[in-house]
Amino acid sequence: MKLTHISIVCLLSIFFVNLDAAPDKNRVGKLTINDIKNTHCPYDSAAGAYYIYSYGKTGLSSQLMIEFTHVVRLKFVDKSELDRANVTIPFGNKWPVQRLKGYTYNKVNGKLEVTELKKENMFKEKVNDEYSNLKLTFPNVKEGSVIEYSYTVAYGNIRSLNTWFFQTSIPVLHSEYHVLIPEYFVYQKIMDGFIGLDVAQVENESMTWGDETISLQYHQYIATKVPAYEEEAFSPAETDNISKIGFELRAVNVPGRIYETYLPSSYGKLAQKLMKSEYWNQEINNAPWAKDALQQIVSDTADALTNAKHIYDYIKNFKKSEESSNNLKTAFRDKKGTDTELNRMLIAVLRQAEYDAVPVRIATYNHGRVNPFYPMNKNFNFTIARLTIDDKEYLLDASEEDHQFGFLPKYCVNGRGLVIHEGPEEWVDLTPSKLNRKIFQAKLKLDEDNLLVGELAIKHSGYKGMAFGRTMEDMGEEKYL
């Protein structure tokens, strides 16, 4: 039974009840001169700016959309951080930013000067057909200014609530996040980072809905005097260690009516679930639209590896697009696609040619490490292909035109990748098989003037070899020498 078969309106109408609809501390435009008097961060005198207050609340709109409300107060200590007065708010094109207010506060001749954010300080930037950015430029910002803003936007969904970051690249004096969860929704709370919380409490509440009494969990998390996050050496992404909290829907449990799980118990179960979906199964297993092209790409006289390389080169030369096509057939016809579409097309065409090719989900270097404890598809952000020929495996990415067959881009080399198939859980090592090195070989001797003369040979391999090849191609051999 699916969630929509129960009273979804009843459930969601109580999903995120506002226990603190508009506390005074979250009202903007009400700061006094005393609120902006500090000339530096109380616990980090070197900070060029810091957040005085950052508050987040996940709630529910009248259209039953999950909403996120954010209230921010940011202090500028010196001019090195004034770029932070340019704020970007991402939003879905169908659900624009709502209830936006913003102000700049300055102390002028001992008095408080307030400048309101107006429409001429805002503009929209379309990212793609689904998302846009609202860009704000706060007026009259200088050393000592405080900017304050609040807004509400549709973020996340019932299955994955908005992630709250307690820590940022500058100090945060007070960070607070609230969410209320009814008993029917079983969430997995996921916390990362090393910052201790001053408040981490879950209180049981109850409310009456018709003839039923419903139990609720009210979550409140507060961190104070949070230091700025400093990127660690050799850490793939700051999101690995930065202090944050997220909620992933594990199950919906309405006693006597429904029990439906959403978070798989293992990565093997996740892979099997993905492979059964139309996105992964039907499209890559059924590619008759590639038959005509295959007749031109492959040769009856070539061996399996050579023909696989021809298919790879064919897809690799397609145009990379930021906007997704409706389906792989359309993308193949137009010879363009997103990174993931190009690799899904590669897998589909290889399978149509009767090769053993499967998708592999990976997390790129900037996405961070794959969390080993929580098997979620959001842990991955990229797809590559694994091709097996005569028991030898090749990892392929067709989204980079200048990369070689069997050689992944650097940003893909990040731990392990999850093989998407219906068999047992399987991972592949993303470490490149070719060593990344530069070798110098010299045959030298002293001439009669005591000068070293002879021959010097330089050999590049791995990523250094590809980089050298691109340099030679761009500059030309004569110019390089």
Sheet holding 427-429, edge to edge: 392-396, 382-389, 356-362, 416-419, 427-429
3-state secondary structure of 353: coil
Residue 236 has pLDDT above 70, yes or no: no
Residue 99 Ramachandran class (φ > 0 left, ψ -120 to 50 alpha, else beta)? left
Residue pair 339/384 in contact by the 8 Å Cβ criterion:
no
Measured CA to CA, the distance from residue 357 to residue 426 in angstroms comes to 14
pLDDT, mean of residues 312-333 = 89
Most confident of the ranges 8-17, 53-62, 202-211, 359-368: 359-368
Band the pLDDT of 73: cuts 50, 70, 90: very high
| Tokens of residue 403, six digits | 């990369």
Band the pLDDT of 5: cuts 50, 70, 90: very low
| Tokens of residue 161, six digits | 């609530």
Residue 449 has pLDDT above 90, yes or no: no
Residue 143 has pLDDT above 90, yes or no: yes
| Beta bridge partner(s), residue 90 | 133
Measured CA to CA, the distance from residue 340 to residue 437 in angstroms comes to 30
Residue pair 41/173 in contact by the 8 Å Cβ criterion:
yes
Distances (CA, A) of 342 to 32, 289, 332, 412: 55, 15, 9, 15
Nearest by Cα to 25 from 141, 148, 189: 148
Residue 87 has pLDDT above 80, yes or no: yes
pLDDT, mean of residues 83-111 = 93
The pLDDT of residue 448 is 78
DSSP 8-class letter at 406: T
Residues 432, 437, 439, CA angle at the centre, nearest 5°? 150
pLDDT digits (tens, 9 = 90+) for 22-68: 457 888 888 999 999 999 999 999 999 999 999 999 876 656 577 89
Contacts of residue 231, defined as CB under 8 A and 6 or more positions apart, other chains included, come to: 238
Amino acid occupying residue 123: F
Residue 130 has pLDDT above 60, yes or no: yes
pLDDT digits (tens, 9 = 90+) for 323-340: 888 789 999 999 999 999
Measured CA to CA, the distance from residue 384 to residue 358 in angstroms comes to 9
The pLDDT of residue 216 is 80
pLDDT digits (tens, 9 = 90+) for 93-103: 888 899 999 99
Is the model more confident about 259 or about 139? 139
Contacts of residue 234, defined as CB under 8 A and 6 or more positions apart, other chains included, come to: none
- Give the least confident one: 58-72, 210-224, 383-397: 58-72
Residue 314 has pLDDT above 60, yes or no: yes
pLDDT, mean of residues 145-167 = 88
Contacts of residue 408, defined as CB under 8 A and 6 or more positions apart, other chains included, come to: 384, 395, 396, 397, 430, 432
**DSSP per-residue string spanning 195-260:** PPPSEEEEEEEEEEETTEEEEEEEEEEEEEEEPPP-PPTT-S-GGGTS-EEEEEEEEEEETTTEEE
Residue 221 has pLDDT above 50, yes or no: yes
Q: How many CB atoms lie within 10 A of CB 346?
A: 29
Which helix (H) or strand (E) is 148 found in, with range?
strand 146-154
Residue pair 188/98 in contact by the 8 Å Cβ criterion:
no
The pLDDT of residue 366 is 85
pLDDT digits (tens, 9 = 90+) for 248-306: 888 888 888 888 888 898 999 999 999 888 788 878 888 899 999 999 999 988 999 99
Measured CA to CA, the distance from residue 90 to residue 164 in angstroms comes to 15
Band the pLDDT of 471: cuts 50, 70, 90: low
Residue 335 Ramachandran class (φ > 0 left, ψ -120 to 50 alpha, else beta)? left
Residue pair 338/321 in contact by the 8 Å Cβ criterion:
yes
In this prediction the pTM is 0.75
The pLDDT of residue 254 is 83
How do beta strands 336-337 and 319-320 pair? parallel
Q: Considering the chain, what is the average pLDDT of its residues?
A: 85
The pLDDT of residue 2 is 45
User: Distance between alpha carbon 85 and the CA centroid of its chain, in Å?
Assistant: 24
pLDDT, mean of residues 111-131 = 91
Structural domains in the chain plus CATH codes:
3-261 (2.60.40.3140), 267-429 (3.10.620.30), 437-480 (no CATH)
Return the percentage of the chain with pLDDT > 90, whole number: 49
| Tokens of residue 345, six digits | 């097309």
| Beta bridge partner(s), residue 188 | 248
pLDDT, mean of residues 430-437 = 71
